[in-house]
Amino acid sequence: MTDDLLVKRDGAVGVLSLNRPKAIHALNLDMVHAMVSAMQGWQGDEAVQAVLIDHSEGRGFCAGGDIAFLRNSALNDGGASGRKFFHDEYQLNHLIMTYPKPVVAFMDGITMGGGVGISGPAQYRVATEATRLAMPETGIGLFPDVGGGWYLSRLKGRLGQYLALTGARLDGAECVWAGLATHYLPAENLPAAKARIAAEPGAIATILRELSAVPPEAKIAVHAAEIERLFASNVYEDILAALKAEGSDFANATLASLASKSPQTCKVALRQLADSLTLPDFAANMVMEYRIASRVLTRPDFAEGVRAVIVDKDNAPKWDPATPEGVSDALIDGIFAPLDPADEWKPL
C-alpha cells in the first residue's frame, strides 16, 4: 500500500481517495497497484456494495499520470518502466470499466489524462462547478490514452476529435452536455452524497439525482455545429485546411491551439479514434492504446514535449517530424502495429 492513496470502508462502500495533493493527485505506479488491490479485494466481499473514487484535498481530482517518471523512463531505460506503468494503469482502467459493482467517481476540480482514465469507465461520473476535464496529451507529444479512444470517439458529432487534438478543457456543465459526466452536483453537496451512498448504496442513482443541480448552459454547445463540420475528416491536413478556410474567431483560435501540438500525435489521435469505433470492446481498445503508448513513449516528441511544457516551460517544442506533411502513413502504421505476442497488453 502507499500513502498516496487512502483506502477505507465507509458503511457498505469502499472508498479510494487519491492523496498526492502537491501533484494534484497525479497517478504513480504505487497508486495504480493499490487501487487494483483494493478493488480486487472488494470484488468478492458481499459487505461492499459499491466503490467511490475521490481525492483527499486540494484543487483537483487527478491531473493525470506521473509525467516526470515517464520522461525519465524514455530517456534512461529505453521506456521499460514507462511501458510497465502504462500496462498496469490500463489494467486498472479496464477493471473499473468491467467492475461488477457500481463505481462512483467524483470529478471535482482538475480531471485530466489519467484522471479521465479512472473516472471515464465509472458507472456514475459526478461533475461540479469546479470540474475542468481535458485530454491535453498532444501538447506534450503523447495521445489521449487510458481509454480516451473509446470515450472520445463515441461523443456526439466530432466533439471527441476536437477534444483529442486541441486538449480543450470542459467545465462541469459541458461534461454533462457532452456525456462525459452523468450528474452535476454543487461541490457543497458532495459530502452529503458520499454519506448517503455509504448508508444506502442501492440508491445511488436516486441520491445523485436528488442532490443534483441544473447545470449552467454548456458554452461549447454553441460551437457544436462548427466542430462537426470543421473536424469532419480523419485526415489532419484536411482539418487544418478547413479551419484556415473558415476564418472565424473560433477557427482561428483553434488553429493557433493546434499549432502548438505534436503533428505526430495529432495524427495518432485521429487514427486512434477512428479505429476504436471498429473494435468489439474496451479490452480491444486498450490493446490498441498500449501498442501506441509503447512506441510513442520513446519517440522524440514525448521527451521534447515534456521538456518544453513542464521542465523548461519555454513552450517552444521542436517537434520531429515538424509538420503534419512530414508525418508519413508508414510512421503511423508502425506505431499501431501489433507487438510481439508476449508483449501485448492483457486485462487482469
> Which residues are catalytically annotated?
65, 114, 137, 145
Q: What value does the mean pLDDT of the chain take?
A: 97
pLDDT score at 1: 77
- Partnered with residue 329 across adjacent β-strands are none
Alpha-carbon gap, residue 94 to 287, rounded angstroms? 11
Q: How many domains does the chain have?
A: 1
Model pLDDT for residues 206-244, shown as the tens digit of each residue? 999 999 999 999 999 999 999 999 999 999 999 999 999
Higher pLDDT among residues 1 and 211, named by residue: 211
pLDDT > 70 fraction of the chain, expressed in percent and rounded: 100
Listed residue (347, 331, 185, 204) closest to 271, CA to CA: 331
For the stretch 21-50, pLDDT in tens is: 999 999 999 999 999 999 999 999 999 999
Q: Does the residue 348 lie in any domain? A: no
Domain residues for the domain of 143 are 5-343
Q: Which residues contact 95 (CB under 8 A, 6 or more apart)?
A: 36, 39, 40, 347, 348
What's the whole-model pTM score?
0.97
Task: Give the pLDDT band of residue 314 (cuts 50, 70, 90).
Answer: very high
pLDDT given for residue 88 in this prediction: 98
- Confidence at 19, pLDDT banded by 50, 70, 90: very high
Q: What confidence category does residue 14 fall into, taking pLDDT thresholds of 50, 70 and 90?
A: very high
Cell match 490498441: residue?
Answer: 288
As a whole-number percent, the residues of the chain with pLDDT over 90 amount to 98
Domain assignment present for residue 236? The answer is yes
pLDDT band at 59 (very low <50, low <70, confident <90, very high): confident
| 54, pLDDT greater than 80 | yes
The angle at the Cα of 98, spanning 94 to 100, to the nearest 5 degrees, equals 145
The 3-class SS string of 303-332 reads HHHHHHHHHCCCCCCCCCCCCHHHCCHHHH
pLDDT one-digit tens code per residue, 92-118: 999 999 999 999 999 999 999 999 999
| Amino acid present at 338 | P
Tell me, yes or no, whether 237 lies in a domain: yes
Q: Considering the domain boundaries, does residue 188 fall inside one? A: yes
| 67's grid cell | 509525467
CATH of the domain at 150: 3.90.226.10
Q: Report strand pairing: 110-112 vs 103-107.
A: unpaired
Question: What pLDDT does 336 receive?
Answer: 98
pLDDT 10s digits, 164-210: 999 999 999 999 999 999 999 999 999 999 999 999 999 999 999 99
CA-CA distance, 1 to 137, in Å (whole number)?
A: 29
| C-alpha 282, offset from chain centre | 14
At 275-306, the pLDDT tens digits run 999 999 999 999 999 999 999 999 999 999 99
Please give the backbone phi and psi of residue 314, each rounded to the nearest 5 degrees, phi first: -85, -10
